[in-house]
Structure formats: C-alpha cells, structure tokens
Structure 1
Amino acid sequence: MTRDQIKSIGDDIAYMKAMAEEGSRGPLLGGSILVAAGLIFGPASLVHWAVQADILAIGMANVTWIWMAALVAFVVALAVLSRRVGRMPGAMSPANRASGTAWMAVGLSIFFLALSLAAMSYRIESALPALIFPSLIVGLYGAGWAVSAAMSGQKWLWAPAYGGWLAAPVLAWFTGEPAQYLVYAGVLMLLTIAPGLVLMRQEPSDVV
C-alpha cells in the first residue's frame, strides 16, 4: 500500500470521525412535539381542576371524555410532527435517536400505567389509584429529560429533569384537593412548553 493510499484512508477515517462527533453535538429535535403535549394536556388539566373546584359545571363524568379527546388530539399531532422531525438534518444522530427512544418509552409508559390504574380502580371500585397518576407522569417526564440531557450534553436540560422529579411529591401532597390539577397543569406546561420552545429555536430550519 502506497503512502498516498494510507493518507487517503486516514483522511476518510478522520472525516467519518468528525461527522460522528458533529452528529452527537447536533441540536436535539422534537421540541414541537413537547410543545404540542403541553398545549393539549395542560388545558385538559385546567378543565379537570375547574370541574373539581365547581367552577365549571359539566360533571366529573364528562372529564374522562375531555382527557380522551386530548389523547386523540395529541396522537394526531404526534403523527404529523414526527414525520416532520424525522426529515430534519441530524434526526438520526446518536443523541436524537436515544432521546427519541426515551420519550417514546415515556409516552408508552404513561399510556399503559393509565390502563393499569383504570383496571385497578375498576377492580377495587375506588378512584384512589388514579390519584397518583399526576405524580407518575411528571416523574416520567423527569426521566425523559434526564436522558436527553445526558445524551446531548446540554446541561440546562437537567433543570426540567430535576423539576419533574421534585414536582412528583409536591403533587402527591395536594392529593384529593382540586388544587392538585391546577398545580399539575402549571408543572406540565413548564416541563413541556418552556423547554420545547427552546429546543425549537435550536432546530435547523430546513427539512430534508
């Protein structure tokens, strides 16, 4: 093998290494999905609070339909936004793949925990198991942000991670009070809309 061939191989390896490092340092994508989650589930939480506090007279039985409508709206938004995010430069970087997997796991965990708590409530004929749900959700959001922070190297993302974990026992403290879902709405928006908007500002403007 000639010196020029060795140099060419070395240049190729250096180029590939640089591309890999650049990909890992690229901006995190998916901020729009988190913003959508906050804009959809935050108001649903406010409606829940307003009904519990006797501010909105639609009956607690109808609150379930509010949450179901919010879930359908988010699934539609997720399908649309995921396609757009997937076409952005850097979507397949290690950081974005790990972060995307983590948030998918968070979403699926929330869904199946909701089913589990609903089944438990039905079996024991009590709504008590569902009272822990807000704390579980914000705790899982904390886990999602922790993975995003660790994989991207963006230290500011540890703020919503710790925020989610600390908010879990705070929400548990308000169990049984209408204020629980008012506080939950505020926490949810802080954990989704605020950091999601920051991530959106960092995203590339072009879509492949």
Structure 2
Amino acid sequence: MSQHPQADVHGDIAYLKSLAEEGRHAPVLVGPILVAAAIWFGAATAVQWLIALGRVPLSGWGVMWMWVGAGVGFAALLYVLIRKVDARSGSQTKDNVAIGAAWSACGYSIFGLWLVLMAFGLSTGNWATMSLMPAVVMIAYGAAWMITGQVVRQGWMMLTGAVCFAGAAALGWFAFTHWTYVIYLVLLICVALLPGLHLMKLAARARG
C-alpha cells in the first residue's frame, strides 16, 4: 500500500515533465490565421487599387461594403481556424496562450479603430481619415509581432515587427495616393502571408 502514493508522485512528476517538454518545443500556431488575413484583405486591397486606377467602377458605399464583406469572410474563417488551433497539441502552452492573446488584441484594436474612423466619417462627412486605416493595421501588426518575438525569443519576428512600423510610416506618407494600396499589399505579403506560411511549415515539421 505504501508504494501507491510514491507511484502517484512519480506519475505526477512525469506528467509535469511532459508538459514542460511540450511547452519548450511547441510551435507557434498563428500561421494559418495570418495567411487567411493576408488572402482576404490582400484581395480587397488589390480591388481597391484597381478602383483607384479607374479599372473597377465601384465607389462610395460600394467600396465600404467590399471591405465589410472581406472582414465578414475573414471573421467566419477565423472562427473555424481558432477551433482547429485550439485542438492542436501545444495550443495551451504558456507561449502560445500569450501569443494568441497578443494577436487577439491586435485584431480587436484594428476593429476598434475602424469603428472610431467610421463614426468620425459618419458624423462629419469627412472620410479622408479612412485613408490611414492601412497604417493603423500595420501598427497593430507591428506590436503583435514584437510581442510574439519577445515571447519565443525569435529575432526574425521582431524584425518583422520593425518592418510593420516602417511600413506604417510609408503608408502615412502615401496615404492620399494610389500607391498606398500597392505598399499595403506588399506589406501584407511580407508581414502576414510569407511569415504565416513559414510558421505553418514549422508547425507541420514539429507535428511530423
């Protein structure tokens, strides 16, 4: 009888050790979400660029509903992706919980600031400030990447965050020209699509 408590203790120690090992080697799991964001909003940006060039006959509320549609489409896919990520091994490690919180805060901040600019436009009739929305997105992305890089101690992630901040400044400079859409599309590829695909590759390698 006296051996059972000892066996339980050894079992608990082994379990805690396995959790520690899992946390140490768990990959970052936000890759699919970054790829989805890049695809949905990159497509909307490409259409917006064509509108600015006069290639697509869409204006006013039509443009607004295009972006709302992209946001709704991304939100629906995001719901599915989050459920899949939560089901993955390592999703509840300390690092991935912190990273998930950082990117959730990024998304909520973008949505909140979009609401602010929408309210300003509706109340004043001045929609010029919406031109700064891409810069706002890049600032939020930059903060999330900086936090992610600090959590997992990866320099390339912090460098990606720095690219976001530099890109935000460029977007502010070109805010009222059609070049802002080109810059924004390139940034989405560089700081969301490509890093997201890289993280997905690392996660697949860790699982295999």
What is the TM-score of this pair, normalised by structure 2?
0.88
* Contact persistence 1:45–1:185 (CA under 8 A): yes
Unaligned runs of 5+ residues in structure 1 are none
Where does residue 61 of structure 1 map in the other structure?
Answer: 61
- Stretch of structure 1 that moved more, 167-176 or 196-205: 196-205
Q: Is residue 24–residue 94 contact of structure 1 (8 Å, CA) maintained in 2? A: no
Distance in 2, matches of 1:59 and 1:74, equals 22
What is the aligned partner in structure 2 of residue 134 from structure 1?
134
Give the distance between the partners of 2:26 and 2:172, measured in 1 at CA: 37
Q: Which residue number in structure 1 is paired with residue 152 of structure 2?
A: 152
Unaligned runs of 5+ in 2: none
How far did residue 19 of structure 1 move? Answer: 3.3
* 1:171 alignment partner in structure 2: 171
RMSD: 2.4
Contact in 1 for aligned 2:46/2:185 (Cα 8 Å): yes
> Which amino acid in the other structure matches residue 68 of structure 1?
V
Residue 148 (structure 1) shift: 1.0
Provide the rounded CA distance (Å) in 2 between the counterparts of 1:22 and 1:33. Answer: 22
Aligned length: 204
Q: Provide the identity percentage.
A: 33
Q: Distance in 1 between matches of 2:94 and 2:66?
A: 37
Structure 2 residue 191 is the aligned partner of structure 1 residue 184: no
The alpha carbon displacement at 1:159 in A equals: 2.2
| 3-state secondary structure, aligned to 1:203 | helix
In the alignment, which residue of structure 2 is the partner of 1:94?
94
1:20 aligns with 2:20: yes
Moved over 6 A (4+): none
Aligned mates of 1:83, 1:61 — CA distance in 2: 33
Equivalence for 2:120: 120
Q: Which has the higher contact order (CA 8 A, sep 6+)?
A: 1
Query: Does 2:74 align with 1:74?
Result: yes
SS of the residue 1:57 aligns to:
coil
Name the amino acid aligned to 2:170. Answer: V
After superposition, what is the alpha-carbon deviation per residue over 1:40-80, rounded to whole angstroms, capped at 9, x for unaligned?
10010111111012122223431111111101110111011
3-state SS of 2:78 partner: helix
Using the alignment, how far apart are the partners of 2:131 and 2:84 within structure 1?
A: 36
How big is the shift at 1:14?
7.9
Shift of 1:20: 2.2
Q: Cα offset for 1:18?
A: 6.4
In structure 2, how many angstroms separate the alpha carbons of the residues matched to 1:125 and 1:154? 44
